[in-house]
């Protein structure tokens, strides 16, 4: 993009901004800056790239230009709550009324949705041809699956990689066999590894089983929702944590710790606390708080699906969590 703008052409800064805002889909990784002309944009992008994306402001012609970046897959759940629902709508209305472009840039970079067309009512703008997204150069193919045997257990509907035969070329790790699996196909806890590492390995293993990803394609700082984890997979994952690590993680805790890293650190803390304080009594499981809360946790996870589809409000989900 920087080279495209530097070469110039028959387009204005307004046309460029209009195309990026209205004609392109917003991606997870975001960069925004407020500039007055194409030269400031070119110099700002050059300085940003020169600092390998670490700079939070650049200076062009003696004028400081703040830089706003964000990754919607990695933003904390507290930030996402502020940007969604009635709170997010109220914040956006205030920003639009104030017409502060820097605040709007920060709002969008952190995951906010802006009705960009409302900012382009003062004149005719046109869509222009821009460089395409630099997709990763990876090729995949689907191999013939093994013949189905009557009575065999069906594979996961989300796409078990071993059943689908999806393989990656060009020197990347092949997913023909699962290095985390034990001899019976279950997860292999390695005693020589710490609790946190084993839980992280388990979450990655489950995710790969459900989605067909390879371990090197999993980012611990991305949210479960970004990987397509629905209520069924979420419930299965929580039950698996309890079975493998003997500690219970609730639906509310999964909502509050929405990334693989955050949830694994939270679960590891619960395991360490359990080992430090050995319980001397074992309540009747049929009347335990965990048993009574199980149904509500499943409702929380199902409510998240409804929130994602827009059929349930954030306030309703919050009331269910607090209840």
What does the pLDDT look like over 148-207, one tens digit per residue?
Answer: 444 444 444 443 433 333 333 333 333 333 455 555 567 888 888 888 999 999 999 999
Same fold for the domain at 2-119 and the one at 140-145+156-322?
Answer: no
Closest by CA to 107, choosing from 122, 121, 123, 90, is 90
**Would you state the pLDDT for residue 33?**
92
Whether 316 shows a pLDDT value over 50: the answer reads: yes
- The pLDDT value recorded for residue 122 is 79
User: What is the reported pLDDT for 38?
Assistant: 93
Structure tokens at 282: 């074992």
Architecture of domain 2-119: Orthogonal Bundle (1.10)
Domain-wise residue ranges, the chain: 2-119, 140-145+156-322
CB 41 within 8 A of CB 35: yes
pLDDT grade, residue 302 (50/70/90)? Answer: low
- With 0-12 CB in 10 A as exposed, 13-18 as middle and 19+ as buried, what is 254? buried
Please give the biggest Cα pair distance in the chain: 77
**What CATH superfamily classification does 140-145+156-322 receive?**
ACP-like (1.10.1200.10)
Tokens found for residue 114? 């802006």
H-helix or E-strand containing 66? strand 63-71
The pLDDT assigned to 309 comes to 60
The mean pLDDT of 36-65, rounded to a whole number, is: 86
Tell me the average pLDDT of the chain: 76
Question: Residue 200's CB: how many other CB atoms inside 10 A?
Answer: 21
Asked if pLDDT for residue 315 goes beyond 70, the answer is no
Whether the model clears a pTM of 0.85, i.e. scores above it, the answer is no
**Does position 71 have pLDDT exceeding 60, yes or no?**
yes
Q: Confidence band (pLDDT; 50, 70, 90) for 39?
A: very high
- pLDDT score of 174: 31
- Residue 15 has what pLDDT? 92
Confidence of residue 294 (pLDDT cuts 50, 70, 90): low
Poorest-confidence range of 128-132, 216-220, 233-237, 304-308?
A: 304-308
**307: number of CA atoms within 13 Å, CB side?**
22
- Which of these, 79, 73, 69, lies nearest to 28 by C-alpha position? 73
Residues 6 or more apart whose CB falls under 8 angstroms from that of 226 comprise 28, 73
Q: List, for residues 253-278, the tens digit of each pLDDT value.
A: 888 888 899 999 999 999 888 877 65
Whether the pLDDT of residue 279 is over 80: the answer is: no
pLDDT, position 164: 35
């Amino acid at each position: 993009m920087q080279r495209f703008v530097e070469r110039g052409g028959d387009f204005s800064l307004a046309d460029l901004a209009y195309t990026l805002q209205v004609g392109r889909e917003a991606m997870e990784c975001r960069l925004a800056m407020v500039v007055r002309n194409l030269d400031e944009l070119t110099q700002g992008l050059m300085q940003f790239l020169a600092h390998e994306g670490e700079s939070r402001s650049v200076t062009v012609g003696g004028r400081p230009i703040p830089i706003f970046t964000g990754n919607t897959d990695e933003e904390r759940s507290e930030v996402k709550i502020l940007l969604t629902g009635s709170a997010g709508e109220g914040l956006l209305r205030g920003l639009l009324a104030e017409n502060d472009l820097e605040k709007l840039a920060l709002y969008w970079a952190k995951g906010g949705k802006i009705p960009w067309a409302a900012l382009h009512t003062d004149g005719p703008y046109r869509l222009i041809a821009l460089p395409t997204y630099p997709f990763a150069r990876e090729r995949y193919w689907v191999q013939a699956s093994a013949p189905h045997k009557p009575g065999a257990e069906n594979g996961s509907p989300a796409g078990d990689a071993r059943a689908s035969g999806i393989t990656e070329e060009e020197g990347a790790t092949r997913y023909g066999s699962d290095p985390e699996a034990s001899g019976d196909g279950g997860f292999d806890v390695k005693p020589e590894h710490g609790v946190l590492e084993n839980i992280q390995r388990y979450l990655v293993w489950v995710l790969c089983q459900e989605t067909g990803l390879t371990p090197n394609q999993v980012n611990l700082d991305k949210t479960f929702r970004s990987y397509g984890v629905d209520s069924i997979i979420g419930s299965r994952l929580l039950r698996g944590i309890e079975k493998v690590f003997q500690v219970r993680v609730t639906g509310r805790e999964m909502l509050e710790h929405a990334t693989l890293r955050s949830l694994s650190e939270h679960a590891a803390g619960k395991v360490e606390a359990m080992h430090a304080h050995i319980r001397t009594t074992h309540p009747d499981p049929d009347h335990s708080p965990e048993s009574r809360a199980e149904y509500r946790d499943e409702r929380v996870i199902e409510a998240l699906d409804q929130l994602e589809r827009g059929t349930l409000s954030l306030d309703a989900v919050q009331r269910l969590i607090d209840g």
